[in-house]
Amino acid sequence: MINYSTPEFLIERDRNRCIDCKVCVRQCANEAHSFDEEEQKVVSHDEKCVACHRCVVMCPTHALTIKRFPLEFRQNSLWTGRTIKDIYMQAETGGILSTGMGNDKPYPIYWDHMLLNASQVTNPSIDPLREPMELKTFIGRKPDRLEFKDGKLATKLSTQLELDLPVIFSAMSYGSISLNAHKSLAKASQVEGTFWNTGEGGLHRDLYEYGPNTIVQVASGRFGVNPEYLNAGAAIEIKIGQGAKPGIGGHLPGEKVDWEVSKTRMIPEGTDAISPAPHHDIYSIEDLHQLIFSLKEATNYKKPVGVKIAAVHNVAAIASGIARAGADFITLDGFRGGTGSAPLRTRDSVGIPIELALAAVDTRLRNEGIRGSVSIISASSIRNSSDVVKAIALGADAVYIGTAALISLGCHVCQKCNTGKCNWGIATQNPNLTKRLNPEIGAQRAANLLLAWKREIKEMLGGMGINALESLRGNRLMLRGIGLSDRDLKILGINAAGE
Amino acid sequence: MKKVYAKEEYCLGCRLCEVHCIVAHSDYKNDIVKAFKKQEQRPLPRVIVEENRPVSFALQCRHCEDAPCTTACITGAMQKDPVTGVVTCEESRCVGCWTCILACPFGAIARNEQGKKVASKCDLCSELGDIPACVKNCPNAAMVFEER
Amino acid sequence: MKYVIVGNSAAAIGAVEGIRKVDKDSPITLISDEPYHTYSRPLISYYLAGKVSQEKMYYRNEDFYQVNKVETILGVKAEGLDAAEKVVTLLNGQKVGYDKLLIATGGKPFVPPNLILQKSGMYSFIKLDDVKEIEKIAKSGSKTVIIGAGLIGLKAAEGLAKLGVDITVVELANRVLSAILDEEAAAFVQDNLEEHGIKFELNTTADKILGEDKVSGVVLQNGKELECDFLIVAIGVVPNTDLVKGSEVKLNRGIVVDEHMETNVPGVYAAGDVSEGYDTIYKQQRVLPILPNAYRQGENAGKNMAGAESVYAGGFAMNSIGFFDYPMITAGIIKPEGDEFESLVQSDPACKSYKKIVLRQDVIVGFIYLNKVDRAGIITGLISDQVNVSTFKQALLEDDFGYIDFPVEERKVRMLKGGRSA
Amino acid sequence: MLMREGDIRIPSGCAISGIMNKKGQVFSGGDIIKSIALMHDRSNGLGGGFAAYGIYPEYPDHYAFHMFYDDVKAKENTEYFFHLNYEMDASEKIPIRKVKGIGPGPIIWRYFVRPREEKLFELEMSEEDFVAKSVFQINGTIPGAFVVSSGKNMGAFKAVGFPEDVGEFYRLDEYKAYIWTAHGRFPTNTPGWWGGAHPFTLLDWSIVHNGEISSYGANKRYLEMFGYKLALQTDTEAITYCFDLLLRQHKVPLEVAVTALAAPFWRDIEKMTPEKREAVTAIRNIYGPLLLNGPFSIILGSRNGIMALNDRVKLRSLVAATKGDFLYVASEESAIREICAEPDTVWAPKGGEPVIGLLEGVDTL
């Protein structure tokens, strides 16, 4: 049967610059380059290229460029090349289309439709180089009020996560990403005073030392979950759903389950790790309540327990239920959230934007007067520090970053995480590839990203005349909408620019 | 003395160290393309990448304290600098007898037979007065240049 | 403290450098019967072939003696030793007193009685003066017979071949380089030499030298008669122990020394081809007439003479040599006899390559590498360190054998150690 | 028509001044008018006002409601509201004198009332909660009615104009109080609505404030969770409610309230004793949304005394002085010296460090 698929990318090799050193050949796990012994030349194979740019970056003479393959279909707004190719692929395989990373469709990006304020005249902006600028953030259940007896604090607070900036590395399991990626994020969290999240694959023995900066996840597969694990972290997150694939479970193919992954996940080596779509002990909110308190019991009420859900249509009501079920924090994962692997149609068509979900949940919890009892962590599509600032102003206590964190480690967003051939050593367990991510470098880069964002957030806060992040949290007056409908503005709870 | 140490767990096996070693010992120290395309006799890489996937690492002269290559050298070309500790081969005196190859327990000396036969080995880029090119250009810090 | 060194080659230079590592100032007197700045004897064949000039034969820079504060007495032979008085007597009658003495007089050619070099046109091939003489007579088209197909004989042959001399090599053994090659390897080498026009007469030797004052030919024991314009005797080298003959310094094949390279006479040391030394493979004292060994023994002797405690751990036979760009490296036991040995062999006639590794109880004790000699030193290292190679024995013969094949821990220890320390 | 306070957020700069006698001795409003008048240039004629404590000794247990009405209809509706919920013992027009600098204004009225017992019983509310709720109800539901003040034995007097004109307009020289605070306003834009002038009050609390808090949105949304309706969208209103929440509703010590509103920096908290560190950390954690960020200087008045406070980096001027039993605070030192030429002590309080003046015998505001 003839294969209808055509290359997505074109590899251009400048023969004047290529020295046939074969670095590209050795670096491409997709075998898009090879050495022709007969010609004594390096040659390229466009059809194998995924545009991860590993070869481009590694080429010592900058002889390589990757371009979009110029083959055009007849112009058609409905039947685009991508749509047609998807059908070819399914006609060939009969399979569910699978992909990695987050939704890449051109839906509105609300972050880019919100603008921040700055002080002018009536209120001085504050220079972060001269004045303290505080980003400290606490995640955890907070009482409505403090009580003092004889001038002394009489209220005992439950354990809080203390963050030096409102950014946490989001859940990405060992299995979906490499141990070196985990190490990088763990170490960066420690250096910059924040947290990372294990994802649902357990915590590798080597990383227990980072426990004080670790949020351990409990997901439907319960991989790697045991009392020691639960107590190793600083907090526990129950994962109900993921923004990239709401309503869908997870599937780590057996080839990624090597000995180390198998030990960590507590499953036999080489077996598929299947996370069911629902937790089979949570079919209702009261079941969730029980799991939250089972985990609190297991950890002696010393660890905050949060619940992560995908942002779906009824997210505000669900979040309210979770708050009332005793969660210390709620993670909202929007429809642009990333994934190691998801069915394409689910990823691209299910769920709602995080900006709207976050605003709706914050508003709802405030209307119910319970916003203080639970922290909100906003996950998905945070690309830069101004997105962080906007999320905080909308009402988030902190944000999770996943894709941005991986990009700091070298990810080029080629969306092939699901293939296990990540040339950057991130979304793979292939030992030839995982060693490409030196966790010392990775930790430095990820920490640098956090540091840079800290600096930028401080600049923006200072510009708004604010010197402590809590004065921005939920302060939607600092936002104005641009190019949004009245309905959007209402949901976001912000005025339009010029108002 | 400062030496190059490999961190095999991070070696990619990309062999950029070899490329940059060649350049650093060519006539075009700042132009990779010319070093490869213009220079008639391209220097041999003085760093050896050993590879048996997934393990790989770069290995170069260890500049041994008792440097067996220097005691073995029949011409006196192979010398250890008493001050810097760097072992270098004075190529004009080398006759290519390969006794150093017989003696080097690391197999870190190569035969360069392109012109006059000479032993080719790591000189820690002493001439460049910088950190060795292999270390500097390793994309994954799989080599460090340090005192231990 | 006054040091006297007799000799001016690798062991003597090693001793100077050894002394100076410990004692920067005390006077050193170096005596040699050769009038030259220290030079590398193995280079004489290169000199003959015109590949190096005399200056480029220098084993150390021209300022070596000056830098190391060495007083030299060159071109005068040391004749006698009075160990009781601590005096060396020179041929010119001069007496040189010492506190510590090193005898590094090297080897001298072994010449059987019937080949005593009494006619003109008969040469050894050891010293620079030998080739300076040969150079005068060796011309394109002239004929020579070389007695002995050992390292010296064949190096001489190579050098002369490049001058266009017609050469026949006569060897008593059944193969060339019998000390360092087995039969199969020797055949490869012989083929290569023959391709370059060198003829061989094996299993025989010279019976009689023809010619009146000047050599005109050789009659072999097998009855053949070979015409020649000159003759080189390269049967072997024996320790040059003339200086101590008749003294109380104890002799075996060579001068007997302890692990500090000191002889039975306190204050008198010996090193290099003149002395014996511990062979770590044969586990006995032997003469190991190879340059690396000479230097190390000399250096060790020097350190001890200067008062440091330095133990010579021993060595073993090893050679790197090549003829007409056909290199070979060998070491240790290459033709084992007995059940305790195991030989790994890989022979590739197409590539003219041959590898043989000899093990004794999973420890390498010898090897031959022909043509593919790269990284042979790794094997040498495994021999010296007596590493048990049972876990990676199967990789030893691979072309890309290297540290990658070592057990991880062994590898890391070696590589992290950053090289051998003294 | 311009939108007025409550429809839109209007930032403003200002002058403030306050005087109290710690022994509770009352004195006329003449000094406070002189003091605020000196800082004429800090106002722009778009608002001025005063709060006075101890002015109604004849009605010590009545809530004195000062009211602005846009029209008679509003007055009737409000009076009906009072009728339903309160016993009313007096009702009168607040006396004024015509002043050139004060234009036409609303109907200005005051009432001395007590909540009906049956209402309190029915709603299971404390008297103060009931009154506070009434204030929100009147402001929020009766068009054209605005509560200027609602405390006992105190009152707020404000108008559009320069503060010295406002003082003259309300004949404050004829009142005697033991605490006077004053405000001159410099809004960036305002339709000239009298209700938008300062002080802002709730029950006994009164606030005069200079500054613009950038945390307003965060403060407001937090306060709303506790039932406050921020009808005016002014900082002064928000600050008043912050204090009301902390001091009256949550009953935290004054220093805790100050810590919440003008919190010490983390770098300083780290140096505190473990016990104090824990308490301050908890305050910042739980009451972080009440932190007043951005520049401000305020004078909080209550029946028990006054507290003057700067933002934690002191982005607005504030000077304090004492002379005998008198405590003075003002935006400028000259405004104090104008009425007290030789004070015993004068100092500029540090950012976040409150100046607290309490009547003798009370321990909190």
- Distance, in Å, from the CA atom of D294 to the CA atom of A468, rounded to the nearest integer, reads 10
The residue of A164, A472, A475 whose CB has the most chain D CBs within 10 angstroms, and thus the best one to mutate to test that interface, is A475
Judged on CB neighbours under 10 Å (0-12, 13-18, 19+), A154 is exposed
Domain end residue (candidates: C235, C263, C283): C235
In A, which residues are within 8 Å of D317 by CB distance?
A: none
Q: Are residues C155 and C197 in the same domain?
A: yes
What's the total number of domains in chain B? Answer: 2
pLDDT at residue C418, rounded to an integer: 60
Q: Tell me the HSE value of A31 on the side-chain side, using a 13 A CA sphere.
A: 1
Q: Measured between alpha carbons, how far apart are the two ends of chain D, in Å?
A: 41
Cis omega (within 30 of 0) for bond into A227: no
- Helical H runs in D94-234? 117-123, 127-141, 163-169, 216-225
Question: C319: closest CA among C184, C185, C157?
Answer: C185
Question: A131: closest CA among A386, A450, A466?
Answer: A466
Position A229 in a domain: yes
C421 touches B64 (CB < 8 A): yes
Q: Are residues B87 and B127 in the same domain?
A: no
Q: Measured between alpha carbons, how far apart are the two ends of chain B, in Å?
A: 8
Note down the domain range covering A266.
137-496
Q: Are residues A48 and A191 in the same domain?
A: no
What's the total number of domains in chain C? Answer: 3
- Distance, in Å, from the CA atom of C357 to the CA atom of C344, rounded to the nearest integer, reads 5
Q: Would you call B13 an interface residue with chain C, using a CB distance cutoff of 8 Å?
A: no
Q: Which 57-86 residues of chain B touch chain C by CB within 8 A? A: 57, 59, 62-69, 71-72, 74-76
Following DSSP, what letter does each residue of C350-413 receive, concatenated?
GGTEEEEEEEETTEEEEEEEES--TTHHHHHHHHHTT-B-GGGGGGTTSTT-SGGGS-HHHHHH
Residue D253 neighbours by CB distance under 10 Å = 16
Active site residue D340: no
C315 touches C280 (CB < 8 A): yes
Yes or no, beta carbons of B10 and A27 under 8 Å apart: no
Shortest Cα distance, chain A CAs vs residue B103, angstroms = 30
Yes or no, beta carbons of A122 and D263 under 8 Å apart: no
Note down the domain range covering B4.
1-60+122-148
The 3-state DSSP class for residue D226 equals: coil
The residue of B11, B19, B33 whose CB has the most chain A CBs within 10 angstroms, and thus the best one to mutate to test that interface, is B33
Position C57 in a domain: yes
Shortest Cα distance, chain B CAs vs residue A123, angstroms = 48
Q: pLDDT tens, C47-100? A: 998 889 998 899 999 999 999 999 999 999 999 999 999 999 999 999 999 999
> Least CA distance to D266: which residue of chain A?
A134
Percent above pLDDT 90 for chain D: 81
- Helical H runs in C8-117? 10-22, 44-48, 64-67
Rounded to the nearest 5 percent, the helix, strand and coil shares of chain C are: 30, 30, 45
Q: What single-letter amino acid sits at A453?
A: W
Q: Are residues B76 and B54 in the same domain?
A: no
pTM listed for this prediction:
0.90
Give the CATH number, domain containing residue C412: 3.30.390.30
Our measurement of the distance from residue A199's CA atom to the centroid of its chain's CA atoms, rounded to an integer in Å, reads 10
Question: C342: closest CA among C372, C317, C369, C363?
Answer: C363
Domain end residue (candidates: A71, A95, A119): A95
Residue C419 reports pLDDT greater than 90: no
Q: pLDDT tens, B25-34? A: 999 999 999 9
- Helical H runs in C77-150? 128-137
Q: Are residues C334 and C246 in the same domain?
A: no
The phi and psi torsions of D27 (rounded to 5 degrees) equal -150, 165
Yes or no, beta carbons of B101 and C373 under 8 Å apart: yes
Position C403 in a domain: yes
The residue of D44, D293, D297 whose CB has the most chain A CBs within 10 angstroms, and thus the best one to mutate to test that interface, is D293
Rounded to the nearest 5 percent, the helix, strand and coil shares of chain A are: 35, 15, 45
Q: Which residues of chain A have pLDDT under 70?
A: none
Question: C232: closest CA among C323, C326, C127?
Answer: C127
In A, which residues are within 8 Å of D11 by CB distance?
A: 122-123
**Secondary structure letter of residue C243 according to DSSP:** G
Yes or no, beta carbons of A431 and B54 under 8 Å apart: yes
**Secondary structure letter of residue A237 according to DSSP:** E
Least confident range from A204-208, C30-34, C154-158, D40-44: namely D40-44
Question: A12: closest CA among A31, A33, A26, A38?
Answer: A33
**Secondary structure letter of residue A481 according to DSSP:** E
Yes or no, beta carbons of C419 and B71 under 8 Å apart: no
> Least CA distance to B35: which residue of chain A?
A19
Q: pLDDT tens, D169-219? A: 999 999 999 999 999 988 766 667 898 888 999 999 999 999 888 999 999
Our measurement of the distance from residue B102's CA atom to the centroid of its chain's CA atoms, rounded to an integer in Å, reads 17
Q: pLDDT tens, D313-334? A: 898 999 999 999 999 999 999 9
In A, which residues are within 8 Å of D209 by CB distance?
A: none
CA distances from A444 to A184, A398, A438, C302, D21 (A): 8, 22, 10, 52, 61
Q: Are residues A62 and A192 in the same domain?
A: no
> Least CA distance to B52: which residue of chain C?
C404
Q: Would you call A62 an interface residue with chain B, using a CB distance cutoff of 8 Å?
A: no
C240 touches C272 (CB < 8 A): no
Note down the domain range covering C92.
3-108+238-305
Residue-averaged pLDDT of chain C = 93
In A, which residues are within 8 Å of D188 by CB distance?
A: 122
pLDDT band of C422, cuts 50, 70, 90: very low
- Distance, in Å, from the CA atom of A240 to the CA atom of A248, rounded to the nearest integer, reads 10
- Distance, in Å, from the CA atom of A271 to the CA atom of A277, rounded to the nearest integer, reads 18
Question: D307: closest CA among D268, D257, D245, D250?
Answer: D257
Exactly one of D10, D14, D37, D355 is catalytic; which is it?
D14
- Distance, in Å, from the CA atom of D306 to the CA atom of D298, rounded to the nearest integer, reads 10
Q: Which fold has domain D14-208+295-358?
A: Glutamine Phosphoribosylpyrophosphate, subunit 1, domain 1 (3.60.20)
In A, which residues are within 8 Å of D233 by CB distance?
A: none
Residue D9 reports pLDDT greater than 80: no
The residue of B63, B70, B74, B81 whose CB has the most chain C CBs within 10 angstroms, and thus the best one to mutate to test that interface, is B74
A214 touches A234 (CB < 8 A): yes
Residue D109 reports pLDDT greater than 60: yes
Q: Are residues C33 and C94 in the same domain?
A: yes
Shortest Cα distance, chain B CAs vs residue C227, angstroms = 32
> Least CA distance to D252: which residue of chain A?
A148
> Does chain D reach chain A with at least 3 CB pairs under 8 Å?
yes
Q: Are residues A146 and A91 in the same domain?
A: no
Percent above pLDDT 70 for chain C: 98
Q: Would you call A153 an interface residue with chain B, using a CB distance cutoff of 8 Å?
A: no
The 3-state DSSP class for residue C158 equals: helix
Question: A392: closest CA among A139, A187, A146, A188?
Answer: A139
Q: Are residues A81 and A146 in the same domain?
A: no
Position A111 in a domain: no
Q: Would you call A106 an interface residue with chain D, using a CB distance cutoff of 8 Å?
A: no
Q: Are residues C197 and C135 in the same domain?
A: yes
Counted residue by residue, chain B has a size of 148
Q: Are residues A82 and A161 in the same domain?
A: no
Position A131 in a domain: no
CA distances from A496 to A114, A483, B117, D243 (A): 9, 8, 79, 31
In C, which residues are within 8 Å of B105 by CB distance?
A: 377-378, 380-382, 384-385, 414, 420
The residue of C323, C330, C375, C387 whose CB has the most chain B CBs within 10 angstroms, and thus the best one to mutate to test that interface, is C375
Q: Are residues C104 and C119 in the same domain?
A: no
Task: Give the list of residues 6+ apart from residue B14 with CB closer than 8 angstroms, or none.
Answer: A23, A26, A27, A58, B139
- Distance, in Å, from the CA atom of C247 to the CA atom of D173, rounded to the nearest integer, reads 133
Tokens of A396: 């988030």
pLDDT at residue D65, rounded to an integer: 97
Give the CATH number, domain containing residue A48: 3.30.70.20
Counted residue by residue, chain C has a size of 422
Yes or no, beta carbons of C14 and B71 under 8 Å apart: yes
Q: Are residues A334 and A465 in the same domain?
A: yes
Task: Give the list of residues 6+ apart from residue C24 with CB closer than 8 angstroms, or none.
Answer: none
A80 touches A449 (CB < 8 A): no
pLDDT band of C13, cuts 50, 70, 90: very high
In A, which residues are within 8 Å of D221 by CB distance?
A: 366, 474-476
pLDDT at residue D365, rounded to an integer: 82
What's the total number of domains in chain A? Answer: 2
Tokens of D230: 């921020």
pLDDT band of C22, cuts 50, 70, 90: very high
Yes or no, beta carbons of A60 and B15 under 8 Å apart: no
Yes or no, beta carbons of A477 and D217 under 8 Å apart: yes
- Residue A216's beta-bridge partner residues? A236
Find the mean pLDDT for residues C98-126. Answer: 89
Q: Would you call B38 an interface residue with chain C, using a CB distance cutoff of 8 Å?
A: no
Q: What single-letter amino acid sits at A476?
A: R
Position C311 in a domain: no
Position A120 in a domain: no
pLDDT by 10s per residue, chain B, length 148? 899 999 999 999 999 999 999 999 999 999 999 999 999 889 999 999 999 989 999 999 999 988 999 999 999 999 999 889 999 999 999 999 999 999 999 999 999 988 888 999 999 998 877 799 999 999 999 999 998 8
Q: Are residues B8 and B47 in the same domain?
A: yes
Give the CATH number, domain containing residue B78: 3.30.70.20
Give the CATH number, domain containing residue C215: 3.50.50.60
Taking one residue from A and the other from D, the number of pairs with CB-CB distance under 8 angstroms is 124
Shortest Cα distance, chain D CAs vs residue A223, angstroms = 34
Yes or no, beta carbons of D295 and A465 under 8 Å apart: yes
In D, which residues are within 8 Å of A161 by CB distance?
A: none
Yes or no, beta carbons of A472 and D212 under 8 Å apart: no
Q: Are residues C254 and C212 in the same domain?
A: no
CA distances from C332 to C335, C369, D39 (A): 9, 12, 105
Question: B88: closest CA among B113, B60, B55, B116?
Answer: B60
Yes or no, beta carbons of B19 and A23 under 8 Å apart: yes
pLDDT band of C412, cuts 50, 70, 90: confident
Residue D13 reports pLDDT greater than 70: no
D197 touches D160 (CB < 8 A): yes
Q: Are residues C156 and C250 in the same domain?
A: no
Q: Are residues C263 and C357 in the same domain?
A: no
In B, which residues are within 8 Å of A16 by CB distance?
A: 33
Q: pLDDT tens, C332-366? A: 999 999 899 999 999 999 999 999 999 999 999 99
Judged on CB neighbours under 10 Å (0-12, 13-18, 19+), D344 is exposed
Using CB atoms, which residue from D224, D279, D291 is nearest to A468? D291
Find the mean pLDDT for residues D37-63. Answer: 93
Position C319 in a domain: no
Yes or no, beta carbons of B103 and C404 under 8 Å apart: no
